[in-house]
Amino acid sequence: MSPRFSEQGIYVRLGSTNRRAGPEILAEMQRSIAGLSFDQLPYPDLSSEDLDPARVQRFFKQSGREDNAKHLESLGVLIAHAGRLVPSHGGLILFGRDAVRRRVFPDAAVSCARFRGTDKVDFLDRVALDDETVLEVIEDVFKFIRRNTRLAARITGVRREDIPEYPEIALREVLVNAIAHADYSLTGMRIRVAIYADRLEVENPGMLPFGMTLDDFKAGVSRIRNRVIARVMRELGLLEEWGTGYRRVLEDCRAGGYPPPEWQELGPAWPP
How confident is the model over 63-98, as pLDDT tens digits? 888 778 899 999 999 999 989 999 999 999 999 999
Residue 11 has a pLDDT of 59
Going from N- to C-terminal start, the domains of the chain cover: 38-105, 110-256
Residues in the chain: 272
pLDDT above 90: residue 206: no
pLDDT above 90: residue 109: yes
Q: Which long-range contacts (CB under 8 A, 24 or more apart) does 245-248 make?
A: 245/173, 245/174, 245/176, 245/177, 246/217, 246/218, 246/220, 247/220, 248/169, 248/170, 248/173
Q: Percentages helix, strand, coil for the chain, rounded to the nearest 5?
A: 35, 20, 40
Residue-wise over 240-264: b if at least 16 C-beta within 10 A, else e? eeeeebbeebeebbeeeebeebeee
> Of the segments 126-135, 206-215, 235-244, which one has the largest average pLDDT value?
126-135
- pTM for this structure? 0.84
Alpha-carbon span 244 to 254, nearest angstrom? 15
- Contact by Cβ (8 Å): 140, 134: no
pLDDT above 70: residue 13: no
Q: What percent of the chain has pLDDT over 90?
A: 62
- Contact by Cβ (8 Å): 171, 193: no
Residue 269 has a pLDDT of 43
- pLDDT band for position 265 (cuts 50, 70, 90): confident
Residue 6 has a pLDDT of 46
- pLDDT band for position 239 (cuts 50, 70, 90): confident
Which residues, 6+ apart, have CB-to-CB distance to 134 below 8 Å? Answer: 93, 94, 108, 109, 110, 179, 182, 191
Q: Which amino acid is at 110?
A: V
- pLDDT band for position 270 (cuts 50, 70, 90): very low
Considering the four listed CATH numbers 3.40.50.300, 3.40.50.720, 3.30.565.60, 3.30.70.260, the one that applies to the domain covering 110-256 is: 3.30.565.60
